Amino acid sequence: MDKPPLPVWNKTIILKSLPPQINGLADRMIQKLEDMIRRFCAYGLEFKNSDGLTHDWCTLIPALELAYKTSIHSSTCKTPAMLEKGWNPRLPYDTLKKDLVDIHPPASIFKLMLEKARHHENRCMQDSFKYAKERWDKSHKQPDFNIGDLVLVSNLNVNNIKGPNKLKDSFEGQFMIKALHGPNAVQLELTGELMNKNPAFPVSLIKP
């Protein structure tokens, strides 16, 4: 006999109890975006024009998205818009001449509102990036490995070691470092069951 279907509320609880499977880089990126949006909304940006209409973060949050897409990231040295589309978007006020005398009043007010929104969102982005960097630097330090050092290798991506997984050690070794590939990767002299593996490993998967 088939089991009766679960009620809707039970399905909701089961779905919410299973977190999405993402890697650490994506998780840190999501945390950074959440912190940036939280700063933009919490610390309040409010603009009232000459007609008495008030614009707050609800109507100005698309400007935050634009500012993020047009900001240069230190990891790629390019903007997300340039990497995704091949060009950086521009707003009308980017080409509006400041020395014009006959600017329509609503247009100048709209330009002023967007400029204030841009300054606010840039400050939120910089504060968010600075906070994320401080958190990362507090719990991580630059590895200091030299050629000839003996290190242990993580079994995270190794699946050819014999025996039950529960009885395997988290790290194998020791193996000698043959070469350094920049500050983030090393080449090891592998032996035993790891002899046929690629000898290059990121420093995050080795330890002294």
- What is the average pLDDT score of the chain? 71
**How many residues does this entry show for the chain?**
208
Residue range 150-207 forms a domain whose CATH class is mainly beta
Residue 96 has a pLDDT of 60
**What pLDDT, in 10s, does the model give residues 150-161?**
888 887 777 666
Residue 11 has a pLDDT of 44
**What pLDDT, in 10s, does the model give residues 1-14?**
455 554 444 444 44
Contacting residues for 178 by C-beta, under 8 A, at least 6 apart: 147, 187, 188, 189, 199
Burial of 140 (0-12, 13-18, 19+ CB in 10 A): exposed
**What pLDDT, in 10s, does the model give residues 43-66?**
666 666 666 666 666 677 777 777
Going by C-alpha positions, the residue among 203, 201, 197 that lies closest to residue 143 is: 203
Question: Out of 36-40, 71-75, 165-169, which region has the weakest mean confidence (pLDDT)?
Answer: 165-169
Q: What percent of the chain has pLDDT over 90?
A: 0
Residue 70 has a pLDDT of 80
Instruction: Map out the domains of the chain as residue ranges.
Output: 23-139, 150-207
Question: Out of 26-30, 38-42, 44-48, which region has the weakest mean confidence (pLDDT)?
Answer: 44-48
Q: Is residue 189 predicted with pLDDT exceeding 80?
A: yes
Kindly list the distances between the CA atom of residue 35 and the CA atoms of 20, 79, 100, 126, 149, in Å, as whole numbers in the listed order: 19, 19, 39, 11, 40
| Look-up of token digits 């897409």 | 69
**What pLDDT, in 10s, does the model give residues 56-100?**
666 777 777 777 788 777 777 788 888 888 888 776 666 666 565
Q: Is residue 20 predicted with pLDDT exceeding 70?
A: no
Per-position b or e across 93-126, b if 16+ CB within 10 A of its CB? beeeeeeeeeeeeeeebbbebbebbbebbeebbe
